[in-house]
Structure 1
Amino acid sequence: MGAIRFLCTWMGAVLLLGSLFSCREDLDKSQLKNYEGPYRISHNIELLHSDSALVRTKLMAAKQLEYLNQDTEFPEGIVIHFFDKEGTLSTTIRADRGYYDRKNNLYRGEGDVQVENLQKEQKLSSEELFWDPGKEKIYTEKFVTVEEPDRIIKGTGMEADEGFNEYTFNKVTGVINNAL
């Protein structure tokens, strides 16, 4: 009687396991795709770059997304401060969204992009701007407005040093002298 009970229990278990595996649906291959989203999310970041014990740049963002290819996205905006040789804040860049392309060592700001040279009282506005830290240049191919104390310059395409001290336009579309 004990052997029959054991055999019935064993047979029941085999049938139960067999029914579990035989009812398996075909696997959806799309669910096996590699994850391409961010692998790390950071909040309220501050990145400092120094040279000769002086801070040269300070990057700040409310949110940073890092990807496996080491590219970075700043979906809630980015602010970059540039400091002169004495360590004084000289220029700021602000953008609604920011991106860092690791392979090309290139930052891109999008949306409402503002650059301000605090010492020269110059302001730049554009919808896209690139910063190349290796070449210490900022540039864009988009429409740009530059406001100076005595004039406003509008144009398409611009290149400047990263401190926004000297710049050139690809195509100037208007200059308005300030009558004040």
Structure 2
Amino acid sequence: MFLYGCEEEIDSSLLEPYLGPIKVALDIDLYHSDSAIVRTHLKAPKQVEFDVGDFEFPEGIDITFFDEEGNITTTMRADKGFYIKKDNLYRGEGDVRVHNLEKDQKLSSEELFWDPNAKKIYTDKFVTIEERETLFNGTGMEADESFSEYKLFKVTNSRTILPGENN
């Protein structure tokens, strides 16, 4: 006796879990306060949320930091941004810029991380820092989130800015 069975082929891709976005929000304007004092202001044209709680800001992200009197101390912007929920960590990529308005220090890099818990920003990528009349270049940097105190690693090709050269 022979038994023959016909089994329908199943497309295995239909059984894979969906990993794409679950929500999309436009014109994000988010304030974070602590003890009734605004600490940060996040703005983004588009925010994409994923099932695990991560966010992507595909059209850019701007974060503004405030002191206890409500004055803007530092701004941070990136062409594209990410928030990793499990690490409570933000990552900016593309043209990333930080400006400490109090000390008039400017940073540019292709990638930068902001850790709100540790109140630090850092990268292991190439960085240019403009401070007063000097450009500092290096690979790797760590700073407090206000970018008022920083450490630049593997410093190379630092130089004085010539008159009329400022951007």
TM-score (structure 1 length as normaliser): 0.83
- What is the rounded CA distance, in whole Å, between the counterparts of 1:168 and 1:34 in structure 2? 43
- What is the rounded CA distance, in whole Å, between the counterparts of 1:106 and 1:52 in structure 2? 22
Taking only aligned residues, the RMSD between alpha carbons, in angstroms, comes to 1.4
The match for 2:53 is: 70
More strand, by proportion? 2
Where do 1:153-168 residues align within 5 Å?
Answer: 153-168=136-151
Where do 1:3-152 residues align within 5 Å?
Answer: 26-152=9-135
User: What's the CA shift string for 1:26-59, capped at 9, x where partnerless?
Assistant: 4323223221101011110112111121110011
User: What's the CA shift string for 1:52-99, capped at 9, x where partnerless?
Assistant: 211100111111111111111111111000001211011111001101
More helix, by proportion? 1
Q: For residue 165 of structure 1, give the secondary structure of its aligned residue in structure 2.
A: coil
Q: Percent identity among equivalent residues?
A: 59
- What is the rounded CA distance, in whole Å, between the counterparts of 1:178 and 1:61 in structure 2? 33
Runs of 4+ in 1 over 6 A off after TM superposition: none
- What is the rounded CA distance, in whole Å, between the counterparts of 2:23 and 2:162 in structure 1? 52
Q: For residue 139 of structure 1, give the secondary structure of its aligned residue in structure 2.
A: strand
- What is the rounded CA distance, in whole Å, between the counterparts of 2:156 and 2:29 in structure 1? 37
Q: Which runs of 5+ in 1 are unaligned?
A: 1-24
User: What's the CA shift string for 1:7-33, capped at 9, x where partnerless?
Assistant: xxxxxxxxxxxxxxxxxx643232232
What letter matches 2:142 in structure 1? E
Return the offset for 1:124. Answer: 0.3
- What is the rounded CA distance, in whole Å, between the counterparts of 1:164 and 1:97 in structure 2? 20
TM-score (structure 2 length as normaliser): 0.89
- What is the rounded CA distance, in whole Å, between the counterparts of 2:135 and 2:56 in structure 1? 32
Larger Rg: 1
